[in-house]
Amino acid sequence: MPELPEVETVRRGLQPVLEHKSLKRLEQRRPNLRFPFPENFAARVEGQTITSLGRRAKYLLADLSSGDVLVMHLGMSGSFRIEAPEGMDMPGAFHHDRSKLSAHDHVVFHMQDGTTITYNDPRRFGFMLLIPRADIADHALFQKMGIEPLGNALTPDYLAERFKGRTTSLKAALLDQRNVVGLGNIYVAEALWRAGLSPKRSAGSLVTKTGRPTKHLEPLIAIIRAVLNEAIEAGGSSLRDHAQTDGSLGYFQHRFSVYDREAVNCQRDGCKGVIEKFTQNGRSTYWCPTCQR
């Protein structure tokens, strides 16, 4: 499943060709993805201008001039392919060939300027919905979401309030989208390694008896932000199906210190440990039991 950096990378790739642009025609090639498309989907978006393209957690949100928001989720294998008319500049460069099997091209956005944006999804776990902007916050998809990890709302005091008294593991608490949105298995593993914190320790262990953050919580927040920003800068991590809108692959996986590095020597200076893997809450967890406490 693409995590926040992958979705943000896609958003930034789509922004120049979608934002403040008009949609001439929408080509819907099947009745459903993970869920059925909205009723009269094509008719409701054709002729609309996309006033802004944002992201909430792992969802792309395209605000339409009609007042609706086109909510898009990539699922496991969804991607967008941008093709500009001959002679028109297109952001980015194609570094890697992408599959263009038309059998997996399910939605094609034909823009007024001649650009086409094709949504390709071999597994069809992605989806697209139309939700009135006024209803977004209360919609079932969004109403219980926590805060964004890259915004100013993520503070030691906020996490201390969420974590106090919690016996659940620190990793599980960070993956809980009701606390912080967009964090996934890869980037939580990397952040906890950098912070020297065990994924097994309880979330409540980072909070004092008086409810204040311990000395470990503030640097953890800075590390989470650093890991996510580095991953966005690198274009995400190319695991399985993820790739950027220009067809190129992300490169953050080459910077992994712990994720998917089982039996490799720990990279931390002075540490003689070896990365181990175990299953935690149904997911693979990578860590160094020597330096992560």
Which residues are known to be catalytic?
2-3, 58, 283
User: E-assigned strands of 74-214?
Assistant: 79-83, 105-111, 116-120, 127-132
Taking a C-beta distance cutoff of 8 angstroms, is the pair 235, 248 a contact? yes
CB count in 10 Å sphere of residue 17: 23
Print the SS3 string covering 24-83.
Answer: EEEEECCCECCCECCCCHHHHHCCCEEEEEEEECCEEEEEECCCEEEEEECCCCCEEEEE
- Residue 109's Cβ-count burial label (10 Å; 0-12, 13-18, 19+) is buried
On whether the CB atoms of residues 4 and 57 are closer than 8 A, the answer is yes
Q: Find all residues with CB under 8 Å of 140, minimum gap 6, and list them.
A: none
On the 0-12 / 13-18 / 19+ scale of CB atoms within 10 A, 107 is buried
- Asked if residue 278 lies in contact with residue 285, where contact means CB atoms within 8 angstroms, the answer is yes
Assigned token pair, 237: 């991590």
**209 Cβ neighbours under 8 A, 6+ residues apart:** none
Tokens 């039996």 belong to: 263
